[in-house]
Amino acid sequence: MRIEPSGQACGARVTGVDLSGDLPDALVADIRAAWLDHHVLAFPGQRMDDDALERFTLAFGGFGEDPFIAPIPGRKHIIAVERAANETSPIFAETFHSDWSFQARPPAGTCLLGIRIPPVGGDTLFANQHLALERLPDALRERVEGRRAIHSAQKAYAPDGFYGDNDAPDRSMTIRPSVEARQTQMHDFIRAHPETGRPGLFGCLGYIIGFDGMDEAEALPLLVELYRHQSHEDFQYRHRWEADMLVMWDNRSLLHAATGGYAGHHRLLHRTTIAAA
């Protein structure tokens, strides 16, 4: 296994491994160590089918729960992240977030397998939240130290949310808005990584709708200020996709966001989530 760091704020390219078959324990251990070190790993040239994608996910902790988006036919744990060539709906997941941070036990990671990749555009941005905390201005840190953030999917997946009942009718993905998206869950905004113990910021504006014990009038501008800091380009890695590339990232360390720029091209990736340890 060869690991080539991106040279950016996080991320590495991993070659010399075949993920299409059974995964020996030693290989899983080596990949996990690299994952915890670099936060996002890209494995190019992987001829993986859906069975292989599920085996890989199970090797790193099992399946997390994926609410509000229908799985692909015949599978319970694989989502198609898809956009048709002529689609006009807003780009899915174009703002920074940590996947499903509104759950009581948010997933440890996400796996995404490139199947049909446009020749241009469609990069994914990752923002290292350990670095974001390390460089958080003292005055801003004082305002969030010890605070619990209120997470909810309501702004995205409630019936009146961004992907709710009024979402664009030509969206390729099958999104299922629900009143259940209004539920809330609290997590420490500054928290230690469950495996490494390294402190970082967890979540951001979008899935975070406020702070426990703080008025909305104070919380919203604070969240906007934090979002600008958390997503700063100094903390980012820009990932460029290839067909047959598997990418895994650590939701406990990162925010991520999709980008567009591939109008007129079909884009398809299959996604699983890795359950919390």
Q: What is the pLDDT of residues 68-115, one digit of tens each?
A: 999 999 999 999 999 999 999 999 999 999 999 999 999 999 999 999
Per-residue confidence (pLDDT) for residue 161, from 0 to 100: 98
What is the rounded average pLDDT of the residues 228-238? 98
Sequence-ordered strand ranges (E) for 162-241: 184-188, 190-192, 199-201, 208-211, 236-239
Is pLDDT at 35 greater than 90 in this prediction? yes
Q: Is 89 left (phi over 0), alpha (psi -120 to 50) or beta?
A: beta
Per-residue confidence (pLDDT) for residue 4, from 0 to 100: 98
What is the rounded average pLDDT of the residues 150-166? 98
Is pLDDT at 277 greater than 90 in this prediction? no
pLDDT tens-digit profile of 176-194? 999 999 999 999 999 999 9
Closest to 149 measured CA to CA, from 214, 212, 216: 212
